[in-house]
Amino acid sequence: MLTTLKAEWFGNIRADILAGLVVALALIPEAIAFSIIAGVDPRVGLYASFCIAVVIAFVGGRPGMISAATGAMALVMVTLVKEHGLDYLLAATLLTGVLQIIAGALRLGELMRFVSRSVVTGFVNALAILIFMAQLPELTNVTWHVYAMTGAGLGIIYLFPRIPVIGRNIPSPLVCIIIMTAISMLWGSISVLSVIWAIFRTPCPSFCSRISHSP
């Protein structure tokens, strides 16, 4: 028992720490971005992503398992939130979890073998196009600083791994987040920490408020 726990929790400390840093730093902008795409308050994505990350950190996950906000779900939930509101989003999320548990118990994942690679590729590409189109309003009618930061970020992500030794040992997204955040703060932009603090100082989303005040 102790050997198993030691292997699971301390088997690869370096990789776990780097993975935790990347997730912690990338989780905030990712949750806010996907919340905007889904048409909900950014606090909804932040609270939900934080809770998911904490739970998965203790109960564990599987390779390829997405344990945070996802673009696929954000795009699917746009119409639901627009037509029925935030409460139905919570209900749909819980129902999705129940269906996933049932599918796992029935081993329905094996049916994915009958889904061709072309279908999966088409779905992923369509998802990428829709997310890109949803982000276009954030890249139009803005100052040149936005384009410079975007280009620099893409350059770091794709070019940093080419650096010998260090490029293979440190994840490029982590380096990109740290450098871009530092540049933004040095240029006199609003501090990232102050934005996060302002978000969490506001009241909880509507369904949280109703749950907390329900008898």
**Considering Cα of 84, then 86, then 88, then 89, what sign does the dihedral take?**
positive
What are the C-alpha distances in Å from 170 to residues 87, 180, 215?
41, 16, 50
pTM across the whole model = 0.60
Residue 190 reports pLDDT greater than 60: no
Task: Read off the pLDDT of each residue in 61-81 and give the average, rounded to a whole number.
Answer: 73
Q: So what's the pLDDT on residue 188?
A: 61
Distance separating alpha carbons of residues 213 and 111, to the nearest angstrom: 43
Phi, psi of 175 (to 5 degrees): -65, -40
Least confident of 8-22, 152-166, 171-185, 195-209: 195-209
Mean pLDDT, the chain, integer: 77
Question: Quick one: pLDDT band at residue 155, thresholds 50, 70, 90?
Answer: very high
Helix 42-59 crosses helix 192-201 at what angle (to 10 degrees)? 100
pLDDT tens digits for range 117-143: 888 888 888 878 877 887 787 788 888
